């Protein structure tokens, strides 16, 4: 049970009780799909940075236009915006175990989150998938997303290679990355995911 208290700066500096798993992988690698499965089996709260940013656009926030433009271009929104949304969602959830999906996506995201929250991830789940497969999946995702078109997809692949892979390498050097072959079927991937999360099953509701 987490007592999700904030300190005076509105951050989690004094609270070490949160369990955070970063869920990373290229666009279309299956992060959201597998997080939904993990939530059901292991009692985590799923926070997708992309979903939070899209909700912020819909809410009519003053940052909405900026966020929308960045997403259309496949660019990474400044950390302060995304981290604020993540912190709010963590506090509102009342939970103490989180899957943070699609974050940190670059070095700025990573360093700022660590600085502001003082939270170190338990581990990083990395969904490894070929660009050919991810492209197919994104082009048939059919969620009406402004960034699921071939032009933006190519830009997102470039951002993933140039900015997000270095974050995965950073955690790999710390021995924190669990890499999953995400090119298989949803059920097969979840079998591998389950094996990684089994130490957490005793804590599930």
> Which residue ranges make up the site for ligand CDP (CB under 6 A)?
27-28, 31-32, 48-50, 53, 70-71, 74-77, 82, 102-103, 105, 109, 147, 156
Closest CA to 199 of 74, 76, 43: 43
Q: Is 186 in the site for ligand ADP (CB under 6 A)?
A: yes
Instruction: Scan for tokens 């949160």, then name that residue.
Output: 18
Nearer to Mg ion, 9 or 140 (CB): 140
CB 99 within 8 A of CB 23: yes
Peptide bond into 104 cis (omega under 30): yes
CB 117 within 8 A of CB 87: yes
Specify the DSSP class assigned to residue 198. Answer: G
User: Out of ligand CDP, ligand ADP, Mg ion, none, which partner does residue 75 contact, by CB within 5 to 8 A per kind?
Assistant: ligand CDP
Using DSSP bridges, classify how beta strands 97-101 and 45-48 pair: parallel, antiparallel or unpaired: parallel
Q: Is 74 in the site for ligand ADP (CB under 6 A)?
A: no
CB of 27 to ligand ADP, least distance (A): 5
CB of 68 to ligand CDP, least distance (A): 10
Specify the DSSP class assigned to residue 161. Answer: I
Nearer to Mg ion, 12 or 103 (CB): 103
Three-class secondary structure of residue 201 per DSSP: helix
Stretch that binds Mg ion, among 2-10, 31-39, 79-87, 174-182 (CB under 5 A): 31-39
CB 38 within 8 A of CB 44: yes
CB of 102 to ligand CDP, least distance (A): 3
DSSP lists the bridge partners of residue 26 as: none
Looking only at residues 15 through 54 of this chain, which bind ligand ADP when binding is defined by CB under 6 A? 25, 27-33
Residue choice 17, 115, 141, 158 for contact with ligand ADP (CB under 6 A): 141
Q: How many CB atoms lie within 10 A of CB 201?
A: 11
Residue choice 32, 74, 104, 121 for contact with Mg ion (CB under 5 A): 32
- Contact set with Mg ion (CB under 5 A): 31-32
């Amino acid at each position: 049970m987490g007592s999700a208290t904030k300190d005076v700066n509105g951050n989690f500096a004094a609270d070490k009780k949160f369990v955070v798993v970063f869920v990373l992988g290229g666009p279309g690698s299956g992060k959201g799909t597998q997080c939904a499965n993990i939530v059901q089996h292991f009692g985590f709260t799923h926070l997708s940075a992309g979903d939070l940013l899209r909700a912020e656009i819909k809410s009519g926030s003053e940052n909405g236009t900026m966020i929308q433009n960045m997403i259309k271009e496949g660019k990474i929104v400044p950390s302060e915006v995304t981290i604020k949304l993540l912190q709010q969602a963590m506090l509102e959830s009342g939970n103490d175990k989180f899957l943070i999906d699609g974050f940190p996506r670059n070095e700025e995201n990573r360093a700022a989150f660590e600085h502001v929250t003082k939270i170190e991830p338990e581990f990083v789940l990395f969904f490894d998938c070929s660009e050919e497969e991810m492209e197919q999946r994104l082009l048939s995702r059919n969620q009406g997303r402004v960034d699921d078109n071939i032009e933006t997809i190519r830009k997102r692949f470039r951002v993933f290679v140039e900015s997000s892979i270095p974050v995965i390498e950073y955690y790999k050097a710390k021995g924190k990355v669990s890499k999953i072959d995400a090119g298989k079927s949803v059920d097969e991937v979840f079998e591998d995911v389950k094996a990684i999360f089994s130490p957490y099953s005793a804590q599930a509701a």
